Structure 1
Amino acid sequence: MLDRLAHDLRTRHPDRPAVLAHTRLGGTRVRIRRGELAALADTCAVALNARGLGQDTTLGLALRPGPRALAVMLAAHRLGLRIAVLDPTAGPDVLAARLALARPDLVLADAAAQAVAGWARPLARRADLALPPLELLGPVATLGRRLPGCAPRLRVGRFGASVPSIPGSDAPARDTDAVIVFTSGTTASPRAVVHSRGGLATGLRTVGELVDPRPGSVVLGGTFFVLVPALSAGAAVALPAREPAALARQLSRLTPAHTYLTPPQLRAALGAGARFTGQVWTGSAPADATLLRRVKQAGADRAWGVYALTELFPAAAVEEAEKSAFTGPGDLVGAPLPGVRTALAPDGELLLGGPGARHRYLGEEPDPWVRTGDLATLDPDGRIVLGGRLKDMVLRRAENIYPGLYEPSLHLPGVELAVLVGVPDGDGDERLVALVQPSPGTDPRQLRAALAGPLARMGSARPDAVLFGRVPLAGRSRKPDRAAASARCARELAG
Structure 2
Amino acid sequence: MLDRLDHALRAAPDRPAVLGTTRRGTVRTRITRGDLADLADRYAAGLGARGVGRDGTIGVAVRPGPRALAVLLAAHRVGARVAVLDPGAGPDVLRARLALARPDLVLADAVAQAAAGWGRALARRARLVLPELTQWGPVATVGLRLPGCAPALGGASGSSRPPRHDGGDGDAVIVFTSGTTDRPRAVVHTRSSLAAGMAAVTDLVRPAPGTPVLGGTFFVLVPSLAAGAPVALPVRGPRALARQLRRLDPQATYLTPPHLRAALAAGARFGGRVWTGSAPASEDLLTRVKAAGADQAWGVYALTELFPAAAVEQADKAAFTGSGDLVGAPLPGVSATVAADGELLLAGPAARHRYLGAEPDPRVATGDRARMEGGRIVLAGRCKDMVLRRAENIYPGLYEPALHVPGVELALLVGVPAGDGDERLVAVVQPGRGADPRRVRTALAEVFDRMGTARPDALLLTEVPLSGRSRKPDRAATARLAADHRGVPVR
Task: Report the alpha carbon displacement of residue 139 of structure 1 after superposing the two structures with TM.
Answer: 1.2
Match of 2:376 in 1: 383
Aligned runs of 1:12-411 on 2, under 5 Å?
13-116=12-115, 120-121=119-120, 124-125=123-124, 129-158=128-157, 161-166=158-163, 169-173=164-168, 175-379=169-373, 381-391=374-384
Q: Pick closer, same or farther for the CA change 1:130–1:33 going to 2, 3 Å.
A: farther
Gap change, CA 1:281 and 1:49, over 3 Å in 2: same
Q: Which has the higher contact order (CA 8 A, sep 6+)?
A: 2
Structure 1 contact 113–130 (Cα < 8 Å) conserved: no
Q: What do residues 405-428 of structure 1 show as CA deviations (whole Å, max 9, x unaligned)?
A: xxxxx99xxx6556699999x9xx
Q: How far apart, in 2, do the equivalents of 1:318 and 1:149 lie?
A: 49
Deviation, structure 1 residue 124: 3.9
User: Does the 8 A contact of 1:264 with 1:478 survive in 2?
Assistant: no
Moved more, 321-330 or 111-120: 111-120
SS at the partner of 2:297? strand
Q: 1-side partners of 2:376 and 2:184: how far apart?
A: 33
CA distance in 2, matches of 1:38, 1:116: 29
Amino acid at match of 2:219: F
Contact preservation (8 Å) 1:218, 1:235? yes
Tell me the secondary structure at the aligned position of residue 285 of structure 2: helix
Amino acid at match of 1:389: R
Q: Distance in 2 between matches of 1:45 and 1:108?
A: 12
| Unpaired runs of at least 5, structure 1 | 394-409, 427-473
Distance 1:119 1:419, change over 3 A: closer
The 3 A distance-change label for structure 1 pair 162 and 227 is same
TM-score by length of structure 2 reads 0.80
1:49-86 Cα deviation digits (max 9, x unpaired): 01001101101111111000101111111111111111
Give the drift of 1:95: 0.8
- Residues of 2 paired with 1:476 and 1:208: CA distance? 31
Amino acid at match of 2:106: V
DSSP-derived class of the 1:156 partner: coil
Q: 1:131: Cα distance to partner?
A: 2.9
Shift in Å, 1:97: 0.2
Q: Give the distance between the partners of 2:345 and 2:94, measured in 1 at CA.
A: 29
Q: Distance in 2 between matches of 1:151 and 1:119?
A: 12
Secondary structure of 1:225 counterpart:
helix
What is the CA distance between 1:123 and its match in structure 2?
A: 5.5
Q: Structure 1 CA distance, aligned partners of 2:426 and 2:110?
A: 42
| Contact 2:279 2:421 survives alignment (8 Å) | no
Alpha-carbon deviations, 1:308-342, whole Å to 9, x = none?
Answer: 00000000000000001000000000000000011
Distance 1:190 1:214 in 2: 40
For 1:358-399, what per-residue CA distance to the aligned partner results, in whole angstroms no more than 9, with x for missing partners? Answer: 0000000011110000000001x2100000001359xxxxxx
Aligned residue identity for 1:9: L
Structure 1 counterpart of 2:8: 8
Q: What amino acid maps onto 2:103 in structure 1?
A: P
Q: How far, CA to CA, are the matches of 1:156 and 1:7 in structure 2?
A: 21
In the alignment, what sits opposite 1:467?
none
For 1:480 and 1:229, the matched residues in 2 are separated by: 36
Q: Which amino acid aligns with 2:167?
A: P
Checking the alignment, whether the CA contact within 8 Å between 1:276 and 1:300 is kept in structure 2 is yes
- Point out the more displaced range, 126-135 or 148-157: 126-135
SS at match of 1:108: strand
Distance 1:87 1:117, change over 3 A: closer
Question: Deviations for 1:438-465, whole angstroms, at most 9, x for unmatched residues?
Answer: xxxxxxxxxxxxxxxxxxxxxxxxxxxx
Alignment of 1:459-478 (within 5 A): none
Matched position secondary structure for 2:153 = coil
2-side partners of 1:66 and 1:197: how far apart? 21
Instruction: Check 1:54–1:317 CA distance in 2 against 1; reply closer, same or farther (3 A cut).
Output: same
The residue identity in structure 2 corresponding to 1:72 is V
> How many Å apart are 1:121 and its aligned residue?
3.5
Provide, for residues 5-44 of structure 1, a one-character-per-residue CA deviation record: whole Å limited to 9, x for no partner: 1011011x21111001222232222110000000111111
**Which deviations, in whole Å up to 9, do the C-alpha atoms of 1:272-304 show, x marking residues without a partner?**
000001000000000100000000000000000
| Paired residues of 2:175 and 2:186 also in contact (CA < 8 A) | yes
Q: Secondary structure at the match of 1:249?
A: helix
Label 1:420 to 1:41 Cα distance change in 2 as closer, same or farther (>3 A): closer
Per the alignment, in what secondary structure is the counterpart of residue 366 of structure 1? Answer: coil
Q: Which deviates more, 240-249 or 131-140?
A: 131-140
Unaligned 5+ residue runs, structure 2?
387-416, 431-450, 459-474
What is the alpha-carbon distance in structure 2 between the residues aligned to residue 14 and residue 309 of structure 1? 34
| Partner Cα distance (2:135, 2:375) in 1 | 49
Alpha-carbon deviation of 1:128? 5.5
Q: Per the alignment, do residues 289 and 75 of structure 1 end up closer, same or farther by CA in structure 2, a change over 3 Å counting?
A: same
> Which amino acid letter does the alignment assign opposite residue 95 of structure 1?
L
Quickly say closer, same or farther: Cα 1:84–1:196, change in 2 above 3 A. Answer: same
Structure 2: distance between partners of 1:98 and 1:269:
34
Corresponding residue SS for 2:368? strand
